[in-house]
Amino acid sequence: MSTLNHLIDEIKERWTSIMYAFFDPNPTLEEENGRKYVEFKCLGKNCRQTKRRYLDTADSMSTGGLRKHVISCWGKEVLKRASTADDIEQARDKVIIPYRESGTLTTAFAWKGKGKPTYSTRQLTKIQTKTEIVRWICEDKRPMKMVKDRGFLCLMKSGRPDYYVPSPSTVSQDVKQVFIKTRSHIARMLQESESRISLQMDAWTSPNHKAYVGFVASFEDQGKKRVIVLDIVAVPKVC
């Protein structure tokens, strides 16, 4: 049993989907006829349902089954609200539990969600740290070697010297991975969009005399205008 518990800690690291917030944070790892599966207990007030996820199938990380249950048990509105949380714990503490206890959306919805930074009371897992660093480096345009800065490491590791901080090359690989995933996500989003898509181009020269062309797509997504940068290309010099 102890090896199974150890295994579940490893698997848990990879659970970042908001769907997990709707289930007991300590699912059990069971074994039946030599097949291991994780059993998720729904947190719904009168729901006794459990969902099994077998670990030996190709889609062992897929959250499709959990999502289906969440929608039928909690409804799309609660799921939508929970999705605005920064992480699973926040979604559970700020939206799901208040909703379960009060039975109304008002309590769960009193929480402001994105825009007002709130911080988890729990230390980030390895995967969460990696994800946050990719987001930070990309959103704030920081150099990847910043994770080696003495001051940064001092802030991250003081009081917890074992705290995991990725190396610049790991950050670089992670950024590429996220880029690849995001690119196909955007492609799918544009292909599936029912809105008309307007493509724009903008060319300009940087202060060091290099010419660039940017490609932007504008479209409507769930009643809101969205603008996405598709690519920025450096124009080769013609002499």
Query: Residues in the site for Zn ion, rule: CB under 5 A?
Result: 42, 44, 47, 49, 73
Kindly state the smallest distance separating residue 120's Cβ from Zn ion, in Å.
24
> Strand ranges (DSSP E) for 77-210?
198-205
Kindly state the smallest distance separating residue 17's Cβ from Zn ion, in Å.
16
Residue appearing with tokens 């969205």 = 226
- Closer to Zn ion at the Cβ: 70 or 147? 70
The C-alpha atoms of residue 75 and residue 139 are separated, in whole angstroms, by 32
Cβ neighbours of 108 (radius 10 Å): 22
- Closer to Zn ion at the Cβ: 47 or 228? 47
- Closer to Zn ion at the Cβ: 40 or 219? 40
> Amino acid identity, residue 169?
S
Kindly state the smallest distance separating residue 49's Cβ from Zn ion, in Å.
5
Kindly state the smallest distance separating residue 66's Cβ from Zn ion, in Å.
10
Residue 86's SS3 state is: coil
- Closer to Zn ion at the Cβ: 19 or 134? 19
The residues pairing with 231 across neighbouring beta strands, listed in sequence order, are: 215
Instruction: List the structure tokens of 11.
Output: 């698997």
